[in-house]
Structure 1
Amino acid sequence: MKLGFGNSFHIPLERKPVPGGIITLSNDLAEYPHVVDEAKDQVGLIPCIYFEGDSSDFSKGPAQDVAKNIENLDRLAAIIQRYPDFKLVILGYAANTHFESAAVMERENLEELLSLSQKRAESIRNALVARGLDAGDIRCTGRGNANPVVPAGDSANQWKNRRVEFILEKEEKGE
């Protein structure tokens, strides 16, 4: 289960259910209140990193979006630094808006979209490395237009499919 859309990261959370299904966190992730159980993983949704159009540069676009991106990256880097036993996986996505037919958009995963989504993930990795994270602890994967959060034919909301997702994976002992 996933709430809305955004970047998600898997991380063990100390949490306690409260009436109405809302979960209150009892640790340093309390600033991210939208947490759900996804199988045995707890997933915290954090605000989206916005990409302008077909850009892989999160520092371009409206000033308020750029400022929010930088704030979100600063917060994310600070959280990840608290979990040295985890590796970060960044999944980049792109929206396919070049076709009129939703069926064609669903079926096509063009090299251009894979390349763009990979560049988005790498731009976030570079920004996190600049904030003190070890590049060797970060893996980037471009997913093209896979797993859209809104239907491919929903042109008004296609920007939601231009995103990155974060997953923190526990490093196994002996690696």
Structure 2
Amino acid sequence: MSASRIAKVALIGVAVAAMAACAPRRPVDGVVDGGGSSVNVPPYPSPNGGGVEGSGLGATLPGSANDFVVNVGDRIYFDLDSYQISPEAYPRLDAQAAWLQRYPQVTVRIEGNADERGTREYNLALGARRAESIRNYLIQRGVSAGRIDTISFGKERPIAQGSNEEAWARNRNGHTAIVSGAQ
């Protein structure tokens, strides 16, 4: 076998290994919350409405970042080792798309996050896939791709402290942050 053929085979092997490392993993049996009970993540708003009650964020100016957070919601949650958007998140993402269409001057950054389990590299890749899933959903709903940027924070920016299923569930999220253009 020639050196160039060996190099080609090695390059293919590296590419396959890299793709396998980024593929979603199946949850390991027994890695749910010890008692088998369901985990509570923050509720999504009902389709008919209203904002997040008791947010303490004060009065909202239409088209402001505060308006987006309070009346639409800026975060969706993902299952363990998944970047698939759940049907429970559709109403929130549909509301985000409608709000962004109402305020075309606004640009956003989708931040993909993961829980603390797994390697830094795995969680950065998973966060990137989560952010891209949200971006693609918003684009399919009519938001211009040029208005949406993505970034992955992996496990570096948890919103819930703790090493338990409830904290992990809250930290597996995609956050839509207003970057510019809001009033």
- Whether the TM-score (by the shorter chain) exceeds 0.5 is yes
Out of 131, 135, 139, the residue aligned to residue 145 of structure 2 is 135
Distance 2:99 2:125 in 1: 28
- % same residue: 30
Instruction: Answer yes or no: is the 8 Å Cα contact 1:96–1:152 preserved in 2.
Output: no
Distance 1:137 1:27 in 2: 19
TM-score (norm 1): 0.62
Shift of 1:136: 1.6
Instruction: Answer yes or no: is the 8 Å Cα contact 2:123–2:154 preserved in 1.
Output: yes
Q: Can you list the C-alpha shifts for 1:5-33, whole angstroms capped at 9, x where unaligned?
A: 79xxxxxxxxxxxxxx662435378xx9x
Please name the residue that 2:77 is paired with: 50
Please name the residue that 2:104 is paired with: 84
TM-score (norm 2): 0.60
Q: Counterparts in 2 of 1:4-15, with a 5 A limit?
A: none
Partner SS for 2:69: strand
Unaligned runs of 5+ in 1: 7-20, 36-41, 60-65, 99-108
Q: Let me know the Cα RMSD of the aligned residues.
A: 2.9
Q: Which one has the bigger strand percentage? A: 1
Q: Counterparts in 2 of 1:148-167, with a 5 A limit?
A: 148-167=158-177
Shift of 1:88: 1.2
Instruction: Find out whether 1:23 has 2:48 as its counterpart.
Output: no
Distance 1:55 1:126 in 2: 16
Instruction: Find out whether 1:73 has 2:93 as its counterpart.
Output: yes
Partner SS for 1:153: coil
Q: Which one has the bigger helix percentage? A: 2
Unaligned runs of 5+ in 2: 1-41, 44-55
Partner SS for 2:159: coil
The structure-2 alpha-carbon separation of the partners of 1:24 and 1:124, relative to structure 1 and needing over 3 Å to count, comes to same
The structure-2 alpha-carbon separation of the partners of 1:43 and 1:131, relative to structure 1 and needing over 3 Å to count, comes to closer
